Amino acid sequence: MLPPAYPARVGRAIRRCLLIGSIFVGCSDGPGPVQTAKPDAHSTWGIIQTKIFAGQCVSCHTAGASFGRQSGLVLTPDVAYEQLVGAAPTNAAARADGLMRVSAIGQGMPGLLKSYLWEKINAPDQEHFYGDHLYYGEIMPFGGEPLTNGELAFIRAWIEAGAPEIGHVADPALLEDESRYEVPEFKPLAEPENGVQLHLPPFEIQPNSEREFFVVHPLNNEDDVFLERVQISMKSGSHHFLLYTFQDDIPPERLPAPYEYRELHNGAGEYVLTTVLTQFYHLPIAGSQWPFFDFSLPPGVAMRLPKNTVLDLNSHYVNRTSQPATGEVYTNLHFADPSEVEHEARLFSLNNFSISLPAGEVTTLEKDFTFSERTHVVQLVSHAHQLMVEFRAEMIGGVRDGELIYVAYDWEHPPLLKFDPPLVLERGEGFRLETTYDNWTDQEVNFGLLSTDEMMILFGFYYEE
């Protein structure tokens, strides 16, 4: 969920088109699911059909029904498996993004991120769905109540396991959770007992437009403080909100004036260079694409904010209506009692500076990073620019050697992955970063800060013993 830090829209559109080609190549030599055994009603796939699809989907997704024709998707038991698994979506935007209706690659996150079905039913993430994917249609079941959280967890486990036609890969007890996602009502947060509240008061977003801005809030803290929890509440329509601090080496003249709204785009939709330049010195602290966010570090763990910390608040709203919309954001920073802090959470950035991408080629770069002390990782998020098509991190060493731990396919919105309990790396263990770039330009691209340069960073919050 990190930001479109150095965006370049024109480039993105071009890259998409090229990508379609490479994805089709990828699909044709990928291994399809080869399971022909008769489905069993008690298998995971059997349960999905009888307990979820039969009552909530099949009425529309039937051959000959007008909704069936419109969606091109039939979910009756005779064909549902072939219609979903390894099948390309009818929806053109999802197809261009390289999604399958259900991807059979499994491996946890990769399978999920490549499956359009998951995007279509994952109601709890609907701000992301409607905000980022304007052409993905509606959340399913169309016009109905969202699936229960139990049903979603069950389908998710099935997709993460590679969507097999036979066998048991999801615990039926998950279905006992009958709670459903409800759109949270926007409300101001109560002031934290020990901490600070940051408020972006109501601001306007013009009809049919986006607005993204940054605004500096100095904390004016006389002593170091220890951040243990962040809460964010925002009015609906938000694309994302991010909280940054600045790197120590930011030249003083680049540090923006407090409380001044720095728009990312001018009235003509062009980037405002002075705003873009400050982004290069950002260090991410927290962020959310959800209207309500509440993240706590594990007990006894907190992040030190040195005295006179300067924060940069970044809000991005998308207004697809013909009326002006209003945004508003509350952020609570909760501070720990310093005497109760046993471990300081710090930010690491595993940064590969040696990047050189030949023009017109797809290049995969690899770099290993190991830790010299036992490290507890609580959060990971990747960072790259517009040529990135895949960012992977695998474990090095220990029993999980080679295991894929993080993956992102979208440079603008890499997932922010939390670990609770923390992911423990023993001394000498680490991460292998593997990033694939499609350099569709006619220039060699190297490491650099500008949107036309590239980066390869894995950010993480961690603490040592």
The residue ranges that bind ligand HEC (CB under 6 A) are 56-57, 59-61, 67, 70-73, 89-91, 101, 116-117, 120-121, 137-138, 140-144, 147
Q: Min. distance of Cβ 142 from ligand HEC in angstroms? A: 4
- Measured from the CB atom, the residue of 151 and 228 that comes closer to ligand HEC is 151
How far is the C-alpha of 357 from the C-alpha of 365, rounded, in Å? Answer: 9
With a CB cutoff of 8 Å and minimum separation 6, the contacts of 181 are 123, 124, 126, 146, 149
- Measured from the CB atom, the residue of 155 and 388 that comes closer to ligand HEC is 155
Q: Min. distance of Cβ 298 from ligand HEC in angstroms? A: 36
- Measured from the CB atom, the residue of 136 and 290 that comes closer to ligand HEC is 136
How far is the C-alpha of 292 from the C-alpha of 331, rounded, in Å? Answer: 10
- Measured from the CB atom, the residue of 81 and 411 that comes closer to ligand HEC is 81
- Measured from the CB atom, the residue of 54 and 166 that comes closer to ligand HEC is 54
Q: Min. distance of Cβ 137 from ligand HEC in angstroms? A: 2
Q: 395: alpha, beta or left, given left = phi > 0 and alpha = psi -120 to 50?
A: beta
- Measured from the CB atom, the residue of 52 and 311 that comes closer to ligand HEC is 52
How far is the C-alpha of 366 from the C-alpha of 430, rounded, in Å? Answer: 13
Cβ proximity of 45 and 164 under 8 Å: yes
The pair of structure tokens assigned to 156 is: 């998710």
- Measured from the CB atom, the residue of 43 and 71 that comes closer to ligand HEC is 71
Residue type, position 429, single letter? E
> Residue of minimal CB distance from ligand HEC?
137
How far is the C-alpha of 293 from the C-alpha of 283, rounded, in Å? Answer: 19
How far is the C-alpha of 291 from the C-alpha of 187, rounded, in Å? Answer: 10
Q: Min. distance of Cβ 207 from ligand HEC in angstroms? A: 23
Cβ proximity of 328 and 203 under 8 Å: yes
- Measured from the CB atom, the residue of 116 and 290 that comes closer to ligand HEC is 116
Residue type, position 316, single letter? H
Q: Min. distance of Cβ 23 from ligand HEC in angstroms? A: 16
Torsion of CA 386, 389, 391, 394, to 10 degrees: -170
Cis omega before residue 291 (within 30°)?
Answer: no
Cβ proximity of 83 and 89 under 8 Å: no
Q: Min. distance of Cβ 182 from ligand HEC in angstroms? A: 17
Q: Min. distance of Cβ 15 from ligand HEC in angstroms? A: 22
With a CB cutoff of 8 Å and minimum separation 6, the contacts of 338 are 224, 226
- Measured from the CB atom, the residue of 72 and 162 that comes closer to ligand HEC is 72
- Measured from the CB atom, the residue of 83 and 370 that comes closer to ligand HEC is 83
Q: Min. distance of Cβ 292 from ligand HEC in angstroms? A: 25
- Measured from the CB atom, the residue of 152 and 417 that comes closer to ligand HEC is 152
Q: Min. distance of Cβ 334 from ligand HEC in angstroms? A: 38
Burial 227-252 (b: 16+ CB within 10 A, else e): bbbbbbbbbbbbbbbbbbbbeeebee
Q: Min. distance of Cβ 217 from ligand HEC in angstroms? A: 40
Q: 220: alpha, beta or left, given left = phi > 0 and alpha = psi -120 to 50?
A: left
Nearest to 35 by CA among 26, 24, 50, 46: 46
The pair of structure tokens assigned to 155 is: 């389908």
How far is the C-alpha of 6 from the C-alpha of 205, rounded, in Å? Answer: 21
Q: Min. distance of Cβ 115 from ligand HEC in angstroms? A: 9
